[in-house]
Structure 1
Amino acid sequence: MNLFFNLPRRERVLGVVPVALALALAGCGGGGGGTSSASASASSSSTATESSSGTVTGFGSVFVDGVELEDAKAVTRVENADGSYSLTSTQLGQRVRVAHDATGTASTVTVDAAVIGTVASGSVDATALTFTVAGQSVKANSDSTSGPLTVYGGGYTAFSDIAAGDLVEIHGSAVYDSTAKVYVVQATRIEKKSAISAVRVMGKIASLDTTAKTFAINSLTVAYGSAILAPTTATLADGVTVVAWGAQNSLVSGSSGLSLTASRVRVLNAGLADDSASGATQLGGVVSNYSVSTGTFELEGVKVIVGSATLSPTGATIANGAYVQVSGTVGSDASITATSIKVRQQSTTDDTASVRLIGAIESLSDQTSFVVRGVPVDASAITLSTACPGVTLAVGTVVKVTATVQSGTDVVKATSLGCTSATTYTMLSASGTAGTVNTTVRSFVLTTTGTATTTRTVQWSDQTVFAGVTAATLDGVTVAVEGYLDSSGVLVARKIRNPAVAAGREDADAYAGVDDGSGRSWSRYRSTHR
């Protein structure tokens, strides 16, 4: 059974724009990358009454553990150490918190790394696939039965690329190790960074000392005496889940172990999405501390009450280490009373175990090697004449892809493919030279060259991410633009970037002929994975 459109949150009922508009777009671009310094406040496009938290498994809008949420007009952001938010883009394997309405239309998407810091010396174990960052144990996942396979980014393609001293950003589920009595981050994404603004650690408070103003997050001691507490009404206590930020030079190793002087500590709310107005929530992650006798387990540090929840698929069971998706309501004690629990299956047709991509092809090497939404896709297992009868794939062709993550590469392997028309919020990409920039109305003209020179008006907004370029420096710069077409044919930009500079370059650019220094290319991929 194909579950590609089995979307429990909503059905897509969107108006269609002419296919010719999509086919006219050319270039490369994609689904990850830089940040903007603009204020990333909440969008008013929808009223948030529900929240979803989990792993990014695709882009159509955005898929969170297989559930599609419309994010075309949402603010996608990351919280900074000083309490401000910066605009950013979602990437495969990231953990996100989404505030949305009952139809699945999102107002905010908050990207939540589990830990950001430096890979500790002597901690990389290539056999166990483990290492340590800021006192937090991290384990890569190569077993699809126990959750999403780890996605690598920022130049990493496999665990073997990781080295002590690397700056990294880790996303994943906190899983309790009853033997070591610590939480281990089962990584869904491991990304190498060229620089970080601060050390970030997320986890449950233990050993709170209100006199010394310290607490522990696993083997890290956090000194919070000079930290700003957010929200200001929050109270610290053992068992509370927090995010702590501190300067890189404030992470020190002493006689009593590793410590971080925090500049800011944020207490996460039970609903897991800051802008959600109700207790309705959906949460995905790895089960810990399951008790049959009490009918409870822990998920991302949150207590889940099984009660009379519907369990699916038929025959599935709850167990420690299982990756589940819980829907329910948040109680006054911050626990979640589940109404339904879906246990992730290894099958690639399971919507929580697959990558879903909907969008226009951004770059193409041949009929089985192309990039969609910033993700390189190997479609060699697909019979194209059956999947897209009468269609020759090209840049601009709108496709729907179901795929799986592969080991040792950032190329996903397509298990199904379909060609379709663009809809109202289908993401398209174009590249060319920016000109006639009007910062008052926030627009410019994009001139593309190919078999013929074409021009298109591009509009940006408060939700647009700029990477490697700013609104003030757009004029004359060659840029890649990702966005959707409005009813008048204007390309409404979600991302504008300059791939010629490091700050605007993305992993998938290597598959479009842009040298990122990694040596990745379609020819290298084919020699190792086909």
Structure 2
Amino acid sequence: MKCTKFSPLMISLLLAACGGGSGGSSDSPAVGNNGSSSSITGNSSSAAAAKTTVTQGMVTGFGSVIVNGVHYDVDDADINVDGKALVESDLKVGQIVRITGRLNADGKTGKAMKLEGESQLVGPITSIDLTTGTLVALGQTIQLTADTFYDDGLTAAQLKVGDIIEVSSYTNSDGLLVATRIDWEDDDDAFQLSGEISALDTTAKTFLLNGTVVNYSNASLSALRGATLENGLKLRVVGDFDGTTFFARGNLHASHLGFKHHDDFDDDQEITLSGTVANLVPGVSFTINGTTVLITNRTEFDDGVAANLVDGIQVEVEGQLDANQNLVAEEIELKYRAKISNKGLLESVDLTTNTLVVNGMTFEVNEDTSFNDRSSAKVRFFDLADLATGDTLHVRGYKIAATATTAERNIASRVERHNPHAFGNNDWKLEFEGVVEAVGVDSITVEGQVIQLTSQTRIEGFTTLELFLAAALGLDVEVKAITQNGVTTALKVELDDDRYDDDSDDDQDDDGRDD
């Protein structure tokens, strides 16, 4: 059997495995997203239990290719991104892909037969506003977030007008492309747009892709099913842009992503789709990147209830397609936005409990935690087992409140390793986002964390500490703080505009280069 790193949670599920990967321990591998894989080849009982599935979402790690918490062996898979045949080493964390494969009985491993991916945009930046965290390219507005992955050596602060970028993204309820990954692209021979056709005009030979006018008079339809276009078709186009119109050339291709119009799926095929909720009709339906998801009285909710479902929240949906290729949801798992940003030295790591400690805060790592090594080591198969005490980390995550039977927990959604001294002295801090839940004489509580305020705390919009404390209860705030001797003290409190957490400068060395 193929030798790979695997999670302790998978030990009882796998018949045999052995250690591997860069820097990890073969005796005590971790749960992380980037170091587990399993093959169903050579195991007839596993193969018999496997079922064919289609999963679409963001790549969160390697060692196998990890999407929606499942570790897929891609050794024998056809991999195609933007119409190009690739291999596993060409893939990147943050890319949006769709995998067709067989899921093992453990529900956490599988074997991919086909992996398809697509950049939503390749083109030059025409404007940048880091205050709102937005870029414009090819007429599309791109929203940056604190969870956007970047090309090696790139940060948001380094982007400039004229740069050609490659963008992987979800589309939110406002029609913005929420970037999951941005890469520099040095090839300006052809730009690319992907999206769903609207306002098709077969006389003028134009249509819109997410608001950008596309002229297809010099393009071929021969690669499309029936050589025809229709509104609602998800399409990938290559061509040129004159500032207002995208002129398509060559073949127009049906999008690799999405489930309408161009794919044939079995009625009983299991579909998993993750992304941002848009166009919500409570209790009825919503869309993810143009795919309609139907809610029924049999739909189960995980990590939340139906009332928690709102436009803009990240979800993972499992279900089957109906006759109209709408996804009928069997289960909807809510993915909460990271509200803790913790930068500092790794104090300890525990491969048995799958936890790590930074600045006195303990984080749990699970199958949805993404790992990214931005240090000079650049370990590709990077996970909890590759960490060492003293590593410089940036951990983002969220809290799960205590219950009558369980203690409060911090869940890591993303772990990044940086070079030593990557963060300046002012950046060794915690960051909290959330509603002020309680107010003390000189403290506030945010996300269950008691935060002390002093006369040195800078408070946005308030002239005195007393005025802030009088109005603080219920405010949505962002707090930057430090922890010393178990006490968390706020350095700065800002009102949260819920738009953009610009920590890009924190990811640079003193010379301005990313670590």
The answer to whether the 8 Å contact 2:60/2:93 transfers is yes
Rounded to whole Å, the distance in 2 between the matches of 1:24 and 1:344 is 30
Seen in structure 2, the aligned counterparts of structure 1 residues 199 and 290 have a Cα distance that, compared at 3 Å, is same
Residue 99 of structure 2 corresponds to which residue in structure 1? Answer: 98
The secondary structure found in structure 2 opposite 1:371 is coil
Give the AA of the match of 2:254. Answer: V
The answer to whether the 8 Å contact 1:56/1:63 transfers is yes
The answer to whether the 8 Å contact 1:50/1:277 transfers is no
Rounded to whole Å, the distance in 2 between the matches of 1:124 and 1:408 is 26
TM-score, normalising length: structure 1: 0.56
Structure 2: give runs of 5+ residues left out of the alignment.
1-6, 27-32, 35-40, 105-109, 339-362, 393-411, 424-504
The secondary structure found in structure 1 opposite 2:253 is strand
Structure 1: give runs of 5+ residues left out of the alignment.
26-30, 33-42, 143-148, 178-182, 384-401, 413-519
Seen in structure 2, the aligned counterparts of structure 1 residues 138 and 22 have a Cα distance that, compared at 3 Å, is closer
Rounded to whole Å, the distance in 1 between the matches of 2:389 and 2:132 is 32
Residue 462 of structure 1 corresponds to which residue in structure 2? Answer: none
Residue 271 of structure 1 corresponds to which residue in structure 2? Answer: 259
The answer to whether the 8 Å contact 2:278/2:286 transfers is yes
User: Which of 63, 71, 74 is 2:74 aligned to?
Assistant: 71
The CA RMSD measured in Å over matched residues stands at 4.5
Rounded to whole Å, the distance in 2 between the matches of 1:352 and 1:344 is 13
Residue 434 of structure 2 corresponds to which residue in structure 1? Answer: none
User: Which of 291, 295, 299 is 1:302 aligned to?
Assistant: 291
Residue 166 of structure 1 corresponds to which residue in structure 2? Answer: 163
Rounded to whole Å, the distance in 2 between the matches of 1:287 and 1:364 is 34
The answer to whether the 8 Å contact 1:60/1:356 transfers is no
Superposition deviation, residue 524 in structure 1? 4.4
Rounded to whole Å, the distance in 1 between the matches of 2:365 and 2:25 is 34
Rounded to whole Å, the distance in 1 between the matches of 2:137 and 2:512 is 34
Seen in structure 2, the aligned counterparts of structure 1 residues 262 and 328 have a Cα distance that, compared at 3 Å, is farther
The answer to whether the 8 Å contact 2:62/2:382 transfers is no
The answer to whether the 8 Å contact 1:290/1:320 transfers is yes
Superposition deviation, residue 315 in structure 1? 4.2
Give the AA of the match of 1:190. Answer: I
Seen in structure 2, the aligned counterparts of structure 1 residues 194 and 375 have a Cα distance that, compared at 3 Å, is farther
Residue 224 of structure 2 corresponds to which residue in structure 1? Answer: 231
Residue 14 of structure 2 corresponds to which residue in structure 1? Answer: 13
The answer to whether the 8 Å contact 1:284/1:326 transfers is yes
Seen in structure 2, the aligned counterparts of structure 1 residues 59 and 211 have a Cα distance that, compared at 3 Å, is same
Rounded to whole Å, the distance in 1 between the matches of 2:170 and 2:91 is 17
Rounded to whole Å, the distance in 2 between the matches of 1:205 and 1:20 is 43
The answer to whether the 8 Å contact 2:304/2:334 transfers is no
Superposition deviation, residue 129 in structure 1? 0.9
Residue 59 of structure 2 corresponds to which residue in structure 1? Answer: 56
- Structure 2 residue 242 is matched with structure 1 residue 252: yes
Superposition deviation, residue 339 in structure 1? 0.8
1:377-436: CA deviation from partner (whole Å, max 9, x where unpaired) = 7644789xxxxxxxxxxxxxxxxxx87245999999xxxxxxxxxxxxxxxxxxxxxxxx
Residue 338 of structure 1 corresponds to which residue in structure 2? Answer: 329
Residue 329 of structure 1 corresponds to which residue in structure 2? Answer: 320
The answer to whether the 8 Å contact 1:53/1:64 transfers is yes
Q: Which structure has the greater CA radius of gyration?
A: 2
- Structure 2 residue 282 is matched with structure 1 residue 281: no
Residue 206 of structure 1 corresponds to which residue in structure 2? Answer: 198
Residue 303 of structure 2 corresponds to which residue in structure 1? Answer: 313
Seen in structure 2, the aligned counterparts of structure 1 residues 21 and 92 have a Cα distance that, compared at 3 Å, is closer
Superposition deviation, residue 110 in structure 1? 1.6
Residue 379 of structure 2 corresponds to which residue in structure 1? Answer: 371
Farther off after superposition, 335-344 or 198-207: 198-207
1:277-298: CA deviation from partner (whole Å, max 9, x where unpaired) = 66431111000010116x1001
Give the AA of the match of 2:111. Answer: T
Seen in structure 2, the aligned counterparts of structure 1 residues 370 and 166 have a Cα distance that, compared at 3 Å, is closer
Seen in structure 2, the aligned counterparts of structure 1 residues 407 and 370 have a Cα distance that, compared at 3 Å, is closer
The secondary structure found in structure 2 opposite 1:271 is coil
The answer to whether the 8 Å contact 2:173/2:312 transfers is no
1:111-143: CA deviation from partner (whole Å, max 9, x where unpaired) = 2111111111xx10011111111111101112x
Superposition deviation, residue 304 in structure 1? 0.6
1:13-62: CA deviation from partner (whole Å, max 9, x where unpaired) = 2533577999999xxxxx99xxxxxxxxxx9x999832111011112311
User: Which of 231, 236, 239 is 1:243 aligned to?
Assistant: 236
TM-score, normalising length: structure 2: 0.58
Seen in structure 2, the aligned counterparts of structure 1 residues 67 and 176 have a Cα distance that, compared at 3 Å, is same
Seen in structure 2, the aligned counterparts of structure 1 residues 130 and 353 have a Cα distance that, compared at 3 Å, is farther
Rounded to whole Å, the distance in 1 between the matches of 2:125 and 2:371 is 31
Rounded to whole Å, the distance in 2 between the matches of 1:72 and 1:78 is 16
The secondary structure found in structure 2 opposite 1:160 is helix
The answer to whether the 8 Å contact 2:215/2:245 transfers is no
Rounded to whole Å, the distance in 1 between the matches of 2:196 and 2:266 is 24
Rounded to whole Å, the distance in 2 between the matches of 1:374 and 1:153 is 16
Seen in structure 2, the aligned counterparts of structure 1 residues 19 and 124 have a Cα distance that, compared at 3 Å, is closer
The answer to whether the 8 Å contact 2:371/2:382 transfers is no
Rounded to whole Å, the distance in 2 between the matches of 1:364 and 1:198 is 32
User: Which of 113, 118, 132 is 2:119 aligned to?
Assistant: 113
The secondary structure found in structure 1 opposite 2:97 is strand
The secondary structure found in structure 1 opposite 2:157 is helix
Superposition deviation, residue 346 in structure 1? 4.3
Seen in structure 2, the aligned counterparts of structure 1 residues 102 and 235 have a Cα distance that, compared at 3 Å, is farther
User: Which of 143, 148, 151 is 1:150 aligned to?
Assistant: 148
Seen in structure 2, the aligned counterparts of structure 1 residues 312 and 223 have a Cα distance that, compared at 3 Å, is same
The answer to whether the 8 Å contact 2:19/2:25 transfers is no
Superposition deviation, residue 212 in structure 1? 1.2
Residue 427 of structure 1 corresponds to which residue in structure 2? Answer: none
Superposition deviation, residue 371 in structure 1? 2.4
1:423-462 matches, within 5 Å, as none
The answer to whether the 8 Å contact 1:208/1:215 transfers is yes
Rounded to whole Å, the distance in 2 between the matches of 1:215 and 1:73 is 38
The answer to whether the 8 Å contact 2:371/2:415 transfers is no
Superposition deviation, residue 303 in structure 1? 0.7
1:75-123: CA deviation from partner (whole Å, max 9, x where unpaired) = 322233xxx6444622111111111123221012122111111111xx1
Residue 221 of structure 1 corresponds to which residue in structure 2? Answer: 213
1:178-197 matches, within 5 Å, as 183-197=175-189
Rounded to whole Å, the distance in 1 between the matches of 2:133 and 2:414 is 20
Seen in structure 2, the aligned counterparts of structure 1 residues 20 and 264 have a Cα distance that, compared at 3 Å, is closer
Give the AA of the match of 2:97. Answer: V
Seen in structure 2, the aligned counterparts of structure 1 residues 118 and 48 have a Cα distance that, compared at 3 Å, is farther
Residue 491 of structure 1 corresponds to which residue in structure 2? Answer: none
The answer to whether the 8 Å contact 2:135/2:142 transfers is yes
The secondary structure found in structure 2 opposite 1:101 is strand
Rounded to whole Å, the distance in 2 between the matches of 1:19 and 1:261 is 46
